[in-house]
Structure formats: structure tokens, C-alpha cells
Amino acid sequence: MRPGQPHLVGRAFTPRFVPAREDLATPESWSSPKSPRAAIEAMPEGCIAVVDAMGVTDAGIFGDILCARMAKRGVAALITDGVVRDVAGVLATNLPVWCQGVAAPPSVAGLTFVDWQQPIGCGGIAVFPDDIIMADDDGAVLIPAALVDEVVELAPGQERLERWIMREVQAGSRCRASIRPTPRTKRATKRRRAIEAIAPRRSDHRFRQSADVNVHAGSTIAREPPGLA
């Protein structure tokens, strides 16, 4: 909803709206046992509320009061494929929000709240309660709860790989779809790092820099992160 929002990770809590129906979408429904207010009171601290609003953008699902209550309860963030209302007040709560925009009418103008902690769809994605949500300035991604252990195992290696690729690009390497560490590129990386390590000390007579770098026996060449050495 605004730039510079924090990088967040939390378990999904899944409120759900359906299309409005005249006998259900009334102000009286706000105090029913199945209401947004009741859902907020059930949200555990640290969760990320992922709200199915069916992509409706002309009725705000939550306003400043409900967002303030979510913030007070320690809800980490609100994510929805719908919109919110009372934008100035919502921003003042400091609750991180990812949504499609702002609309003045309340939710009952286009939606009926029906339940929470059931499988939902949000932005075309199936979301189950307790799936892992990661959100930052780029948007939000979902990790199915059953795949968390696998992702935790594989993700650090992918991060190291991408940092290595970025260093190679910054050093002048061409971008290639298949760029990966190889014995040759690893040797080139270590050689370049050796040059960078001794460059500030090039006046020291114990070091010399040439096409074939000689490094003093007492020096240490920075190694690649585990998995890239």
C-alpha cells in the first residue's frame, strides 16, 4: 500500500467474502458470530491475514478501525485481492497492507463475509490456513505448509547462487540464461578476489600484482560461500 514496507513472514489466516446478498449484507451482519470483527478477534499474533475479496474493488473490506484492531492484536499484515477504505486512517495504524487500492463504500456494498480459516482463493492463488506467506515491496508469495522444510533447505543455496551471479555481473560478466559456477569461473573469481584483496596494499614490497597474482603466504583469499567454493 506504500513503498518501503517491511519484509514479513507469517502464517496465513484466511477470512473469506462472497458476493453480496441483500438479506445477508446488512449493517446488522457486522455483529453476527460470522463477521469480520469476530474473525479479527480469532487472529493469532504474528499471523498474516490473507483475505478473499473475490477481486472486488468497489467495496472496501476493512477500514481504519478494523485495521487498528488488527495492529493492536499483533497481526503482522493484511493481504487481499480487494481494497480497503479510510486510507489515511489505515496508514496511520502502521499495519502493513497489500491490496488493490482504496474504495469508500463498506464491504456490505458488494460483499458478504462468511467464514475464516477455510481454504480460499486470493489473487488467483489457493491459500490454506497456516500456509507460509512472505511479503515485501515486490509483493507476496505463498509457500505451501507441506513444502516449508524443502524450501528452507533449498533457499539458502539459491540465495548464495544469486549473490555469486550478481558479483559476476558487477565484475563485467555477460548475463547468460545458464550462468552457473564452474571450475573455471570459480578460479577466475578467486583470482579476482585475490587482486582486490591486495590492491590496497600494492605499495607493500611483499606483494606484487600482475597477470599471475602472487599472494604472500600469510594472506587469506576470501572463499566462496559454502556450496560455491
CA distances from 43 to 69, 163, 167 (A): 10, 37, 42
- The model's pTM is 0.74
Q: Put residue 152 in one of left, alpha, beta given phi > 0 → left and psi -120 to 50 → alpha.
A: alpha
Between 219 and 26, the higher pLDDT residue: 26
The answer to whether 33 and 149 are in contact (CB under 8 A) is no
- Architecture category of domain 8-143 in CATH: 3-Layer(bba) Sandwich (3.50)
Domain extent listing, the chain: 8-143, 146-180, 182-223
Between 209 and 159, the higher pLDDT residue: 159
What pLDDT digit, counting tens, does each position of 130-139 carry? 999 999 999 9
Per-residue pLDDT, 193: 59
Between 209 and 201, the higher pLDDT residue: 201
